[in-house]
Amino acid sequence: MENTFNNYISELSTGVIVLDKFICIKYLNSSALSMLDTSLKASKKKKLNEIFYEEPDNFQNFKKCLTDNRNFSKVDALLFMKGGKKLLCDYFIQPISNASLGEGLIVEIMNKEYSNEIKERLRARTNQEVTSAFIKGLAHEIKNPLSGIRGAAQLLSHKLPDAHLKEYTDIVINQTDRLTSLVDNILGPNKKPSFLVQNIHLTLENVITLIQHELDEEGIEITKDYDPSIPDLYMDSYLLEQSILNLIKNAKESLVEAGETSPKIEIHTRILHREFLGKSRHKTVCKITVLDNGPGIPENMKESIFFPMISGKNQGSGLGLSITQGIVSQHKGAVRFKSEPGRTEFSILIPIENKISEVTLRTVHG
């Protein structure tokens, strides 16, 4: 198959399968590999029904397209793959016959589940952004009066005739400081990101060093599974450390509250290809996952888990995930989660920038 053809269809967001006249696989682009949960090496030259099957037709339409030399399209097709996975999609079949490709079929697959998932993510993200903006605006309005209350309490304490009365002004000052600290947490990190090209695994190791003692005290085992092929990221390591630390602390607190007998936390790094983050599709993405074997997130909290002041923990402030999401958004990334009893995973997805300026590289490497 010609390289120019491969290069063209490899960039398509829809899945493309090229079949020969025996309905054996000649080529799949990266989107098709992802949709069908396979690799080119594992699928090439195999019959299509060895990769997936469809009931009740099971490729009768594919065969008719070859024999009758006609196109065929199907809406809301359900494809069954090995391992029990299913794919809801639309597909379009077109016969081909030319010198470079030979005789066969081109199958274009549109993943409907993925489209619905993207729409749902955008809806949830919009709701979170509106709520966060409202709460942060309210926090700004609260902060100014708090400064006035604290200053007035300090002045009053100097004018009180009896020393024991200062206990009351001390209470006002201490509680005002506590509220100010809470407001600062709602507003998130007050430093602007300082982006440099840095190694994500060094950042993760720093986080583990910071929290290792706490995990050891609680008897929580932590394991790592890193992908060493991940290139350096354009990121603020300090802010990302804070966001990852929040996820690990949440996992720790969940395990402790649940009283898990064999508590475990895992940290994984992986590369994803052609991934949507918000409305943009990125060629390569770094995925950092924090996984625990705790009780999971209650169903009634999953819709609002990233909202500020929402927490499933008895002692939680509900700010950690909101702050983490804000930091990751500054990196043009996203935070996602999956949760069921016995397995909860939160993932940070950061786009891998292919083009980094020489100025940035000189900043990092001196």
**49-71 pLDDT, tens per residue?**
888 888 776 788 898 898 999 99
What is the pLDDT, as a whole number, of residue 355? 44
What is the pLDDT, as a whole number, of residue 207? 94
Confidence band for 135, pLDDT divided at 50, 70 and 90: low
Strands 221-225 and 264-277: parallel
- For 83-105, write each residue's pLDDT tens digit: 778 888 889 999 988 777 788 99
Mean pLDDT for the stretch of residues 328-342: 88
What is the pLDDT, as a whole number, of residue 358? 38
Confidence band for 225, pLDDT divided at 50, 70 and 90: very high
- Name the residue among 254, 271, 246, 114 with its Cα closest to residue 189: 246
Q: Regarding predicted confidence, which is higher, 120 or 48?
A: 48
**H helices present in 160-276, as ranges:** 166-187, 200-217, 237-258
- Residue 133 above 90 pLDDT? no
What's the full length of the chain, in residues? 366
Question: Looking at 72-76, 189-193, 249-253, which range is the least confident one?
Answer: 189-193
pTM: 0.56
Buried b (16+ CB within 10 A) or exposed e, 46-81: eebeebbebeeeebebbeebbeeeeebeeeebebee
Question: Looking at 27-31, 49-53, 127-131, which range is the least confident one?
Answer: 127-131
Mean pLDDT of the chain: 81
Cis peptide before 351 (omega within 30 of 0): no
HSE (side-chain half, CA atoms, 13 Å) at 44 = 8
Confidence band for 143, pLDDT divided at 50, 70 and 90: confident
What is the pLDDT, as a whole number, of residue 365? 41
Strands 72-81 and 86-98: antiparallel
Tell the burial category of 226 from Cβ atoms under 10 Å away from its Cβ (0-12, 13-18, 19+). Answer: middle
What is the pLDDT, as a whole number, of residue 173? 87
Q: Residue 17 forms beta bridges with which residues?
A: 28, 107
- Residue 360 above 50 pLDDT? no
What angle do the packed helices 166-187 and 112-159 form, to 10 degrees? 160
The CA distance from 266 to 222, in Å, is: 6
What is the pLDDT, as a whole number, of residue 113? 66
Which position has the token pair 């949709």?
35
What is the pLDDT, as a whole number, of residue 255? 93
The CA distance from 30 to 51, in Å, is: 15
- Residue 208: CB atoms within 10 A of its CB come to 17
The CA distance from 225 to 143, in Å, is: 43
- Name the residue among 353, 356, 227 with its Cα closest to residue 288: 227
- What's the Cα-to-Cα distance from 31 to each of 26, 263, 275, rounded to whole Å? 15, 37, 10
Mean pLDDT for the stretch of residues 256-282: 86
The CA distance from 77 to 109, in Å, is: 10
Which position has the token pair 């929580």?
220
What is the pLDDT, as a whole number, of residue 158? 84
Question: Looking at 23-32, 55-64, 233-242, which range is the least confident one?
Answer: 55-64
- For 9-27, write each residue's pLDDT tens digit: 666 778 899 999 999 999 8
Confidence band for 345, pLDDT divided at 50, 70 and 90: very high
The CA distance from 41 to 348, in Å, is: 29
What stretch of H or E contains 65? helix 60-68
What is the pLDDT, as a whole number, of residue 11? 65
What is the pLDDT, as a whole number, of residue 215? 94
